[in-house]
Amino acid sequence: MSLLEVRGLTVAFGDQVVVDNVSFSLDGGGRMAIIGESGSGKTLTALSVIGLAPETATVTGSVVFGGEELLGRADRALSKVRGEDIAMVFQNPQTSLNPLMRVGKQVAEPLRRHHGMDRRAALAAAVELCGRVGLPDPARTVRAFPHQLSGGQRQRIGIAIALACQPAMLIADEPTTALDVTVQAEVLAVLAELVAAGDGASTALLFITHDVALVPAVADHLLVMRSGAIVESGPVAALVDDPQHDYTKQLLAAARKTALR
């Protein structure tokens, strides 16, 4: 059985359908990317999977995670799944981190909430996690506030928070969009290494991006979304070498043109 089974996922705002009958599955330890331009529905798909779609949205279909249906579950039940079983790295760490809380406390929070660690043990674990994501002088970094860190460092904190409880699945929503090219590569390398290095089974990854050039570094299967629907899917290598849909061809051509600049 797949870790995640999404069937007929449809999201609408009134009469406007923005995610249209999306279906896919992700095995434990799998690496899947969803690409598409802004407004294609990829982020809303990911948010709907974990029950974070806007309250004004009507979400139908089926989202089965670990053999249990998530759609329709109470938010209290979903909040236990989020962070412990499924975690998310958001696009902009500047807005996803609490500006008034030291980053160490933010990394430690899911460990205290989901694993019942006391404050001292959780903070010690936070220092270790900050080291694992490549932050310099972790014992000092945990005492910093978000504004005292660079964009790349803040995103590493976001990854540390997401992976603190060793979730079965990680959703990374455009995690390098706000970073320069060099830092992008560093953060992607950290992400790919850490999801593969969990204790026991590795963490499954659902990677959301508009940049197809980033996909081979983190994923082995690709979904291409346009106007709320999946227009092509398959192994990354096959789609890169021989895309069938015109939209996939356009995305690849744009990526190659950017690489030549």
The answer to which of 70-84, 103-117, 128-142, 235-249 has the lowest mean pLDDT is: 70-84
3-state class (DSSP) for residue 13? strand
Q: HEC states along 127-166?
A: HHHHHHCCCCCHHHHCCCCHHHCCHHHHHHHHHHHHHCCC
Mean pLDDT of 242-254: 92
Predicted pLDDT at 261: 45
Q: Under a CB-based contact definition with an 8 Å cutoff, are residues 3 and 30 in contact? A: yes
Domain count along the chain: 1
Residue closest to 65 by CA, chosen among 44, 87, 43: 87
- CATH code, domain with 173: 3.40.50.300
Which residues on neighbouring strands pair with residue 60, listed in sequence order?
10
Asked whether residue 93 carries a pLDDT value surpassing 90, the answer given is: no
Predicted pLDDT at 200: 52
Predicted pLDDT at 208: 95
Query: Concatenated DSSP letters for 26-90?
Result: E-TT-EEEEE--TTSSHHHHHHHHTT-S-TT-EEEEEEEETTEE-TT--HHHHHHHHHHTEEEE-
Domain that holds residue 22: 4-259
Predicted pLDDT at 14: 96
Q: What is the pLDDT of residues 95-138, one digit of tens each?
A: 889 999 999 999 999 999 888 899 999 999 999 999 988 888 99
Predicted pLDDT at 257: 66
Q: What percentage of the chain has pLDDT greater than the value 70? A: 96
Q: What is the pLDDT of residues 188-202, one digit of tens each?
A: 888 888 777 655 568
